[in-house]
Amino acid sequence: MIMRYLLDTHVILWVAEKSPLIPGDIYRILRDDESPKFVSIASAWEIAIKLRKGSLKLDGGINAFFEIIDYNGFFELPIRRDYLSKVTNLPLHHKDPFDRILIATALAENLTFITIDEDIRKYNIPNIW
């Protein structure tokens, strides 16, 4: 069975850094060509804001973020209306607007969410890590 995954923003950055914080089983999933991995445009939006605020440094800026996505063969997802409908119905376990749209995206697209964020586990969505 082919699994489909949505990557949390930090996962994408850690992939670029080859971070030891990513467990081996997650790296195997990320390298599996049979299982599509998706990145929400909301993650790029979050990165752009953090770059502007100075709370994140990324050589090459937002373009480098898109290069990470392309280089690793991840697929970009837009923000759709039905995702926003799901956001309005989510419990308030997580107040971060970027995480909430990612949760709604995973729900709408039936994706397994790859994240280290423990608050995501409070939602009724498939997630790993």
Residue with tokens 């850094």: 17
pLDDT at 116: 94
Pairwise CA distance, residues 114 & 73, whole Å: 16
- Which is more confident, 1 or 9? 9
Q: What is the 3-state secondary structure (H, E, C) of the chain?
A: CCCCEEECHHHHHHHHHCCCCCCHHHHHHHHCCCCCEEEEHHHHHHHHHHHHHCCCCCCCHHHHHHHHHHHCCCEEECCCHHHHHHHHHCCCCCCCHHHHHHHHHHHHHCCEEECCCHHHHHCCCCEEC
pLDDT at 93: 83
pLDDT at 4: 97
Which phi and psi angles does 112 have, rounded to 5°? -85, 125
Q: Which fold has domain 5-128?
A: Rossmann fold (3.40.50)
Mean pLDDT of the chain: 94
Residue 94 reports pLDDT greater than 80:
no
Residue with tokens 């956001």: 87
pLDDT at 26: 95
Query: What sign has the CA pseudo-torsion 15, 118, 120, 113?
Result: positive
Single pTM value for the model: 0.93
pLDDT at 70: 97
